[in-house]
Structure 1
């Protein structure tokens, strides 16, 4: 029965998995460890996380593979807190760590920005003598880099004796993430010199680094080498990177020309990148072109509507901005709320815009008002033009002063010693 469950190639087989589960329920085999684990795995990979959790909870016997599957499923679906909670639950049992589980939980730590928890996992890895496993080491490097502790990430990279392409990719991406474009290029060239074969992800990481450092000429050379020398077919993400750097440089017409010359049909990632550039450079005409394609390709993504509305607001075309927001209301779309995570004393604290649910809300807002006052004295003015046009200016400024990032930083300032490094991570 387990052989019929398409665990290795699950996509497109949800109906088949449900039918097999139904048969297993009728035949009384659904709670057999190998069957329930296989079904938990396929539901996790198909993002049917509630079905996966239900099967996991109903199973009387939970092998390590079942724990692996659900923790990985939570991580892949962005439910990082659930992944960490389940991992902690598993650690209370007699199960021992394995590389598959470690890479999943380190990925969850990286997504959540839970550096203290990641360090705790690192200590567990050392205690189990798993630090020399290349996949575990790569996951550690990725976690430290994404959580902002780049010195620890690079130290681990330098100590890795048997690096593979994924390890190099992780460090190159880490450089790009923190704006070290030239260092990323130097590392890429070193990787090639040592005989490592670059992958599609390698080139994506290098292009990403070029974007953040404004390296237009180098970006063109990298893209040309990827296509012509290494015969790697660009993905949507590669094309989006190319459009992004043109957009950052204000070359929007060139970006549009590049899109129209693409040998494949440009998707939402490419048009979305152009729309974002239109917001930066206040180009309403091109924004209309990009948004029209995006509304056709990805009509359920409310972010594109919000971006277009903001572009109209910047141009002070408030009737158009209002009409876009009205469309969002009519088709009943809702925007995923942006949130910011800050870890203090090992505990992640999550803030959303205008958040007043924290136990230290009064002190946080007092600190924020103090900082805002000092900024005003130095000439700072809030950019309120993208706020709703029918709101009073004072209220607009209040809306912009309670962004989740500002709340998180204010909380960090009142709960840590002077000179302490403050790290915040956004979900969007």
Structure 2
């Protein structure tokens, strides 16, 4: 039998590599001397080590995309794990692990740079829109104002793109500002009759758009659109009294139809929230039955189940939320104090319970963060606000739980 520090050739010609997990057969050598077999499989290792080194150079020395780097690392991990080679395979896995950490750090840097660029782009575009709106609303220097608006459009095009919803909203404001400016300039150089005709045309367009939105169920976006239409109405000027009254009646009728429908939907949602509050009232009463705490472990187990059912119950009306959350927090505080007392007697068990509480709250926070992200993506501002407030409460609990856990260190 022939060996080297990382492998051997058995008497029957089987070639083995040594790893931290033990020996693993990597091939069979029937022709030639065992030393030739070891040399052959060492070369296989050197080839694999060369691939790892090449990937390290690409990742650390170029701007290789993190996703592409991670794909290359995954392929090499698999190749090392299944390698028919003799050598320090564990060291290659360690290098790939270090490379994975490096790629993760660089991914965070890339994400941070991208977020910063988007934030700067948003500030730039908000500045552009604000200036455009100021020009549209205030300036009477028509030539210089028009030239400046064209420059602002070019600055907009040169800036980085931001999230679609904000981009669309800001662009709509910019477009509306340019339109308003053009209308004011046209009205300035037109006779009074021409001005009134232009105002009538503008407001008929506003009314038509308002009427087309009356049946929309995209509540937040459409409400913002009505605010924008109202702004456009105000800057458009006045038509003749008869036309103004007729168009205003149509505009207000369309607007009232939409907001009445939205109010009905919100009322229905509030009713569902009231049902959620009834569920949480029952859960709070169930939680308060745990007081005073006589068995911290049993109480904590019961509280975990209560917390899961509490989260599943959903949001409640704003005026009841603080009381319900505060009541549950009092029970949670009592359990925590009982656990602290128990910890003095049984350190390992108390630490495990503290860790479990932290994990439970972190899962709860993750769920709420997911709910918040969905609400924001759907434009449900009120739902997002409620999720943010619930998150604040959970994070406060988590801070306390983490402080308790830290005491066991």
How would you bin the TM-score normalised by the shorter chain? under 0.3
| Larger Rg, first or second structure (1 or 2) | 2
Normalised TM-score (structure 2): 0.25
TM-score normalised according to structure 1 size: 0.24
Query: Which protein has the bigger helix share?
Result: 2
